[in-house]
Amino acid sequence: MAAASKEKHNVTLPEGVSLQRLAQVLLDAWEGDPRRWMNTPAQLRENAVQPSAPAPQDAMNLFRLLAERRVDYLLVGGMAMLTYVKGRNTKDVDLLMSVAALEKLPELKVEDRNDLFARGKFKSIQVDLLLTSHPLFKLVEKRFVTKHPFQELAVPAATVEGIVVLKLFALPSLYRQMEMDRVAIYETDITMLLAHYSFDIEPLLALVEEHVEPGDKKELRKIATECKERAAKLRRRASASD
């Protein structure tokens, strides 16, 4: 059956939803990944190595293990976004943690790692890691923390402000690497958070500016201004339609 014909799910993680919903987000994104298709949605690439589908139980076990072993971490990235607004599917789980915390979960097999980032697999679940060896990531872990109550357990997650800090910090590097698809996603995420929640982006921007190259500061301020303007326009249109 073609991926396009599958049942559509609301891409959101409201309070009280089961962790199984998180697993469904991963599965939906895996099934809809265009890299799995060639020419038409019904034709899979021949001779291509296909990653295994994310198993719902694996996602649940990951967060249960983190809780049972009292691992300090934050849910960030696309999954954290979905606890605040409806959005896009995401193919992996993004966590912010220290190297010491990572060592408490040897079941998470690290495949690639540098001083600030790591990527690994927990059974069938792709996990991207932001390591608190970076001072800005460490600050987010300390200052921008909340808990999202899933049905089974409360998951530590970045606040709206924490998500914006991380996305602003990532944007200069994404521009330099010409990853324009991710640039568009991150700027849209910031815009949607500004449209839905009342917070001042200026102190967050000032915080990020302490951790980026001097030449990036002007461009980041321009991005923040554009996101604020788009968010304000969205709010005006929503008010006019009421």
Determine the average pLDDT of the residues in 95-103: 97
Is residue 108 classed as helix, strand or coil in its secondary structure? strand
**Which structure tokens are listed for 111?**
């495949």
The full set of domain ranges for the chain reads 10-40+50-158, 159-242
Q: Which CATH class is domain 10-40+50-158?
A: alpha beta
Q: Read off the pLDDT band of 10 (50, 70, 90).
A: low
Q: What is the pLDDT of residue 138?
A: 97
The backbone torsions φ and ψ at residue 94, rounded to the nearest 5 degrees and listed phi first, read -105, 125
- For 12-31, what is each residue's pLDDT tens digit? 899 999 988 888 888 887 77
Cα 218 from Cα 202, distance rounded (Å): 13
For residues 84 and 35, the model is more confident at 84
- For 101-137, what is each residue's pLDDT tens digit? 999 999 999 999 998 999 999 999 999 999 999 999 9
β 125-131/93-97 pair status: parallel
46 has a pLDDT exceeding 80:
no
Q: What is the pLDDT of residue 242?
A: 67
37-51, 128-142, 152-166, 171-185: range with lowest mean pLDDT: 37-51
Element (H, E) at 76: strand 73-76
CA angle 67, 93, 159 (to 5 degrees): 75
Q: Read off the pLDDT band of 2 (50, 70, 90).
A: very low
Average pLDDT taken over every residue of the chain? 87
Q: What is the pLDDT of residue 118?
A: 96
- For 178-235, what is each residue's pLDDT tens digit? 999 999 999 999 999 999 998 999 999 999 999 999 999 999 999 999 999 999 999 9
For residues 45 and 91, the model is more confident at 91
Q: What is the pLDDT of residue 198?
A: 85
